[in-house]
Amino acid sequence: MQVDVDRASGVLSNIHSLWSLPLQICISFILLYSQVKIAFLAGVFLILIMIPLNTSIATRIGVATSNIMKYKDKRMKIVTECITHMRGMH
């Protein structure tokens, strides 16, 4: 249940990020351009290169999280079964 609540609250911050991050990036680029002129394009290029890498890492984290949740479900099932049998013994 806590995971569901965390995810629900995370949705609100993600919705906020949807509009605020592009605005922050644009403002950052404008400020960078005003300070270093055309040299800021090196940073933009690096950011564009990092996008596929970040996507790959995020995908791997998602798969690992799914696997962890499967093992947690199995563990909880075993613990619940043990507790149920212990109660039946008394």
From first CA to last CA, the distance across the chain in angstroms is 30
What is the residue-level pLDDT of the chain in tens, covering all 90 positions?
A: 666 777 777 777 778 778 888 999 899 889 988 999 888 888 889 989 999 999 999 999 999 999 999 999 999 999 999 888 888 775
Please check whether residue 74 is in contact with residue 59, taking contact to mean a CB–CB distance below 8 angstroms.
Answer: no
Please check whether residue 16 is in contact with residue 27, taking contact to mean a CB–CB distance below 8 angstroms.
Answer: no
Task: State the Cα–Cα distance between residues 3 and 10, nearest whole angstrom.
Answer: 10
